[in-house]
Amino acid sequence: MNSTLNPLKRICNVAVFASLLYLPLLSLAQPQRPPRDSIPVTLVVGSPAPQLKVLKWLKGTPTDSFERGKVYVVEFWATWCWPCIESMPHLSNLAKKYNDVTFIGVTAWETSIADSQKAAEFVKVSGEMMAYSVAFADIRGDVPKQWLNASGTKGIPASFVVDTSGKIGWMGMPYSGLEDAIELARSGMLTPLDSSVIKQKYLQNYQQGVQIEGRLKVALKEHRTQDAIQLVDSMAQKWPYFAEYTASTKYALLTQVDATAAKAYGEKILQDYYNAPIVLKKVATYIVDPVGVWYPRDLIAKVSGPPDYQFAKRLLLQALQCTKPDRETEKYLKKIERKETK
């Protein structure tokens, strides 16, 4: 098994953005499937935002044009893209925080137009995980060509901030500086230089996260649980896109030293990640099926004491508020039911 979470060492044949900044989330992505047609890179920070000619609006209020004086976030995703799904709760939380900004999720890399129904069903069950407008665009149409191809984007999720002048103010992964870009765009102060500075800041965070990961391995190996908890907290700040790892690992570590603190943190997980089914299901996996945890062995912390199956059940049921049932979730719920009847 690979001995690191370090995305740089986990990338294989996955098409990624040119910048290392984009590697963390894409390390978990399926191989990207961009359209065969390619065009020169013409869409850069400072370019006028292209039109958004989608085939169908799946949720929310349609946006036909970008109104001057308003800020927009256009987020590209796909139903098959794991990192896209991981990013959705973050986007929803930002949409609620900045209610003067219009957030639009566009699925433009589905296999074919026929997948519009598949995308519609995905959006319907997502609930609070996708608390913003969502549209479907043809993979062979103008939207992916004018936005993704034209900007040189080779992976998703991909976010674009349209500033108050109707121009592209920033582009990148949702966790690589989107909120900072939104803050500046809302005040009309987002410049190309700012966009570059934001990306450099998050690249530094990525690199610092790599160093933290190394120290965390040592702390886990030497059973320095309190140090490991602090390092996981630091990793969560530098690598927010690994919440499924940091949340589940911190919970497991707390069960080893303080059952009361673990229970309190469990409630915090339910509150903070109520619309993040991937995180909720991962914590439940640590409790119900620790063998099913796929992280590198030297980065896994095991839950100590009697498994809190009631908590795991609450996690899984909450996850089902934002996603359709899958085989693993059903298996875990049945296992919990058997435990409860004994």
Q: What is the pLDDT of residues 190-230, one digit of tens each?
A: 999 999 999 999 999 999 999 999 999 999 999 999 999 99
Tell me: do 223 and 87 sit in the same domain.
no
In a domain, 86, yes or no: yes
CB atoms within 10 A of CB 193: 9
Query: What pLDDT sits at residue 244?
Result: 94
Among 162, 190, 218, the domain-final residue is 190
Q: Angle at the Cα of 288 (from 285 to 289), degrees rounded to 5?
A: 65
In a domain, 59, yes or no: yes
Residue 2 tokens read as 């690979």
Tell me: do 164 and 217 sit in the same domain.
no
Query: What pLDDT sits at residue 307?
Result: 94
Confidence of residue 75 (pLDDT cuts 50, 70, 90): very high
Query: What pLDDT sits at residue 292?
Result: 84
Query: What pLDDT sits at residue 21?
Result: 34
Tell me: do 247 and 167 sit in the same domain.
no
d(CA 172, CA 160): 7
Positive/negative CA dihedral, 79, 83, 84, 86: positive
Residue 123 tokens read as 């959006």
Q: What is the pLDDT of residues 234-269, one digit of tens each?
A: 999 999 989 999 999 999 999 999 999 999 999 999
- Which domain CATH number covers 26? 3.40.30.10
In a domain, 160, yes or no: yes
Tell me: do 206 and 278 sit in the same domain.
yes
Residue 284: enclosing H or E segment and its boundaries? helix 277-288
Tell me: do 17 and 113 sit in the same domain.
yes
Among 131, 157, 190, the domain-final residue is 190
Q: What is the pLDDT of residues 110-124, one digit of tens each?
A: 887 778 899 999 999
Which whole number is the average pLDDT over 3-13?
Answer: 40
Enclosing domain of residue 311:
202-341
Tell me: do 234 and 331 sit in the same domain.
yes
Confidence of residue 11 (pLDDT cuts 50, 70, 90): very low
Q: What is the pLDDT of residues 27-73, one digit of tens each?
A: 333 334 444 455 689 999 999 999 999 999 999 999 989 999 999 99
d(CA 318, CA 321): 5
Q: CB–CB of 89/126 below 8 Å?
A: no
In a domain, 195, yes or no: no
Tell me: do 167 and 26 sit in the same domain.
yes
Among 190, 223, 239, the domain-final residue is 190
In a domain, 120, yes or no: yes
In a domain, 254, yes or no: yes
Tell me: do 103 and 226 sit in the same domain.
no
Tell me: do 292 and 314 sit in the same domain.
yes
Query: What pLDDT sits at residue 38?
Result: 53
- Which domain CATH number covers 222? 1.25.40.10
d(CA 82, CA 99): 26
Tell me: do 86 and 162 sit in the same domain.
yes
Query: What pLDDT sits at residue 70?
Result: 97
Q: How many structural domains comprise the chain?
A: 2
d(CA 332, CA 276): 18
Query: What pLDDT sits at residue 3?
Result: 59
Q: What is the pLDDT of residues 131-167, one digit of tens each?
A: 999 999 999 899 999 999 999 998 999 999 999 999 9
Reduced to 3 states (helix: H, G, I; strand: E, B; else coil), residue 157 is: coil
Is 22 a residue whose pLDDT tops 50?
Answer: no
Which whole number is the average pLDDT over 94-121?
Answer: 93
d(CA 103, CA 70): 11
Query: What pLDDT sits at residue 115?
Result: 85
Q: Angle at the Cα of 253 (from 227 to 276), degrees rounded to 5?
A: 115
In a domain, 147, yes or no: yes
Q: What is the pLDDT of residues 267-321, one digit of tens each?
A: 999 999 999 999 999 999 999 999 888 889 999 999 999 999 999 999 999 999 9
Query: What pLDDT sits at residue 291?
Result: 86
Tell me: do 168 and 24 sit in the same domain.
yes
Tell me: do 166 and 269 sit in the same domain.
no
In a domain, 117, yes or no: yes
